[in-house]
Amino acid sequence: MEWNEQDGDDLKMLGVYSTEQKAQERIVLARSLPGFREEPNCFLIDRHTIDEARWDDGFVTALHNE
């Protein structure tokens, strides 16, 4: 997954859902909340496998150049 954020934006996880339909329903509700309603098209649904290891090689923190 690649995420390209503008300055000042954060990545927020709304939850983990068993179906895409449930994830879509959550997005509909979130669009009425402060912060999310200002960016109603900023949502992403990403599919993952349960019980599958991630980050096998660790991670790197990339800092924004000031």
pLDDT for position 59: 79
Sequence letter at residue 50: I
Per-residue pLDDT of 8-56, as tens digits, reads 567 788 899 999 999 999 999 999 999 888 888 889 999 888 898 888 8
Sequence letter at residue 45: I
pLDDT for position 64: 65
pTM given for the model: 0.65
pLDDT tier, 66 (very low <50, low <70, confident <90, very high otherwise): low
CA distances (Å), origin 26, targets 8, 15, 44, 55? 24, 8, 12, 26
